Amino acid sequence: MQLYDLITRLSAATAPSGFEESVFARVQELLAPYVDEIASDALGNLLAVKRCGVPDAEQLMLEAHMDEIGLIITGFEAGFLRFAKIGGVDPRVLPAQRLRILTNPPIFGVIEALPPHIQETGEEDEAVSADKLFVDVGLSEQAAKAKIPLGTAAVFDEAPELLAGERLLGKALDNRACVAILIKAMEELAEKELAVNVSLLISTQEELGYRGAQTGAFALRPDRALVLDVTHAATPDSKKGETVKLAAGAAVGVGPNLSREISGKLLELARKKEIPVQTEVLPGSSGTDAWVIQVSRTGVPTGLISLPLRYMHTPSELVSLKDAECCVRLVTEFVLAAGREAQNA
Amino acid sequence: MLDTTKTLCLLSGVSGFEDEVRDYILERVLPYADELETDSLGNLIVHKKGKVPGDKRVAFFAHMDEVGVIITGADDDGFLRFDFIGGVDRRVAIGKRVCLGFARVPGVIGIKAHHLVSREEEKKIPSLSAMYIDVGAPDRKSALELVCLGDVGVFSDQVTEFGEGFLAAKALDDRIGCAALIKLIESELPLDCDFVFTAQEEVGARGAKVASARLNPDVAIIIESTTAADLPEVPEGKTVCRLGEGLVLPYMDKGAMYSRELYSALTALCDANNIKWQTKGLIAGGTDAQVIQRSGAGVATAAISAPVRSLHAPISVAKIEDFETIPRLAMLFLESLVNETPPSFHATPPSFRA
């Protein structure tokens, strides 16, 4: 399947942290042809294995989280719904936003905006805090209570849209684009002879603090891990030092959270195979599942490939499809090279 | 009328660029109109004969234009600078999708990731000069190949019916009014009427000014959308009007003191015919009435409005039953002009001529 199709299909899944069942099913279906086994665990992680047949081969774990940020319904007020955030959502993107409320079947809702006439002058410079915002589902309070139990999750209701320059706009590209990259890489590797057992951890609840990765990595017990997540690409309102460049290739993380050997190997492979990459320096936590995987059990050497992305955690995240292709190539080359380092040396 | 409203909301018609909306309406009303004209501002004026000519010249007004953005520049990295056309609160624009120009180039009003936002920054809305649109262009040159300076854009276009008879869409203000006028034009009228689909209401009722000067009506009825703030956290005195409480008959807003005779006549007609109506609980907003009423020697003016939440936002919300009764009330009013002693709209002006 084309990478674009994989990304858009996965972006359409509605699965905030803790509610990943629907995206689990979709990933399972897309990944199944390329792995030997797929399993789940108590936190809802998807664990998969592709064996290479070599006795005592190393286990290399490829990892990406599948949850997205969202909202959760916490109360009712005159037919409108109160909500709390799941993960880091900027309240400034919420007014006049369409939502899909994850009942069965889903219900459409709109976060109503307070009209300007009821505000004091100058208040349009002040953001409306999330506790002053409400979801309109067009229902009486009685009907809303009957249809929408407390604790129902909701996600932004936005379809993917292709922009100029092979750039893709959509919700939940953090981190469905990286899940798609891993599925595409496994497709590329399907017929290849490997020297390592490849395991996949498609994790849950990353947006709430790497929760799925903690138990998933424990269960799989990998020898090494390669994490894929998104990172901030430059925008006019961001500072230079805190971002990478969009459409300048995959970002390879370097820093204490990551194995120097793996980071070095990734950069070396990129140079040899002429894959566009950029180095992303991470002085502390990478802010990804790599943070907990590195210290799983007795420690796991971990690498990180990041896909540059603008407008993270908004209803319209933006990635470059060319960057995503670079990530696929880099993952594929890394897996092909893994386990052969000794014989090549 | 619902289907027409939905179709109209999907069209682009930022003030001064109402072409798409006007073309659609023109096609719809052509079989029913006796005479059609457009003017230099882009108003569409439709004349339709009724059973009798009538004593008064009656004109209905609804505006075709909507709020939007206009492209004012591009930077080296391909991000577009813009300004708003009409009153758009920056707080509803952040992170929203737009489509630009006649080619409908998709883009988004960007904001940096929440991770990079300080607690102080989170409480502030960026100034317009710090806002930008991303169309995916890698540099200035590619950006200006996609859009030109002066191209306008609308918020992304979806229409959704939801809940118990609600409608969510951009531009409900005032495509609801346009749909009501189309419905009237398609009907058999008791007397001759003019229908004006106005341009540039959102930038100061510019179209209505010249259209009313051209028509010089005795009676003007404006079909509009008005702000409803019936939300939690809004004190009772500031809700203005409520969804589900019927159409809105204003007695006064920021732009006009409506004709008391017409207001009484319309409210009486609603009461006599079981049409749910409400009035505004706060003097807020304005309509084309602000110029029509003061056109020529003055025009007796009333408004019939649909209550709409999140007016001027990328997505606003109306209750269908609130606005579906508007054409019926308009028709009852026209019948009353023919069949009953019409209300006296204004005293006969004194004549200074011999």
pLDDT score at B285: 85
The residues of A annotated with a catalytic role in the active site are 206
Q: How do the domains of chain B map onto residue ranges?
A: 2-66+170-339, 68-155
Lowest average pLDDT, out of A113-127, A167-181, A273-287, B80-94, goes to A113-127
Tell the CATH superfamily of the B68-155 domain. Answer: Peptidase M42, domain 2 (2.40.30.40)
What value of ipTM does the predicted structure carry? Answer: 0.90
pLDDT tens-digit series, residues A133-149: 999 999 999 999 999 99
pLDDT tens-digit series, residues A35-68: 999 999 999 999 999 999 999 999 999 999 999 9
**What pTM does this model have?**
0.92
Counting residues of chain B whose pLDDT is more than 70, the rounded percentage is 96
Listed residue (A72, A64, A71) closest to A23, CA to CA = A64
* CATH class of the domain at B2-66+170-339: alpha beta
Residue of A nearest to B318 (CA): A138
- pLDDT of residue A73 exceeding 90: yes
Task: Compute the nearest-CA separation of A276 from chain B (Å).
Answer: 16
pLDDT tens-digit series, residues B292-310: 999 988 999 999 999 999 9
Domains and CATH numbers, chain A: 3-68+171-344 (3.40.630.10), 70-156 (2.40.30.40)
At A65, list the tokens: 């989280």
pLDDT score at A345: 40
Task: Compute the nearest-CA separation of A316 from chain B (Å).
Answer: 7
CA dihedral A203, A208, A214, A216 (to 10 degrees): -20
Label residue A224 by pLDDT band (50, 70, 90): very high
Interchain CB contacts (distance < 8 Å): A and B: 205
Residue of B nearest to A147 (CA): B163
pLDDT top residue among A337 and A114: A337
Label residue A214 by pLDDT band (50, 70, 90): very high
pLDDT tens-digit series, residues B62-76: 999 999 999 999 999
pLDDT score at A342: 57
pLDDT score at B348: 55
pLDDT tens-digit series, residues B169-216: 999 999 999 999 999 999 999 999 999 999 999 999 999 999 999 999
Q: Residue A167: its chain B contacts at CB < 8 A?
A: 136
pLDDT tens-digit series, residues A15-24: 999 999 999 9
Q: Which of B95, B163, B282 sits opposite A311 (nearest CB)?
A: B95
What's the average model confidence in pLDDT over A78-84?
A: 94
Q: Could you give the CA distance from residue B194 to residue B216 in angstroms, rounded to a whole number?
A: 11
- pLDDT of residue B233 exceeding 90: no
List all residues 6 or more positions away from B215 whose beta carbon is below 8 Å from its beta carbon. B45, B57, B59, B194, B196
Rg, chain B, Cα only: 21
Label residue B24 by pLDDT band (50, 70, 90): very high
CA dihedral B213, B216, B220, B223 (to 10 degrees): -40
Label residue B291 by pLDDT band (50, 70, 90): very high
Q: Which of B106, B111, B282 sits opposite A163 (nearest CB)?
A: B106
Q: Which of B94, B132, B240 sits opposite A92 (nearest CB)?
A: B94
pLDDT score at B345: 61
Cβ atoms B284, B227 nearer than 8 A: yes
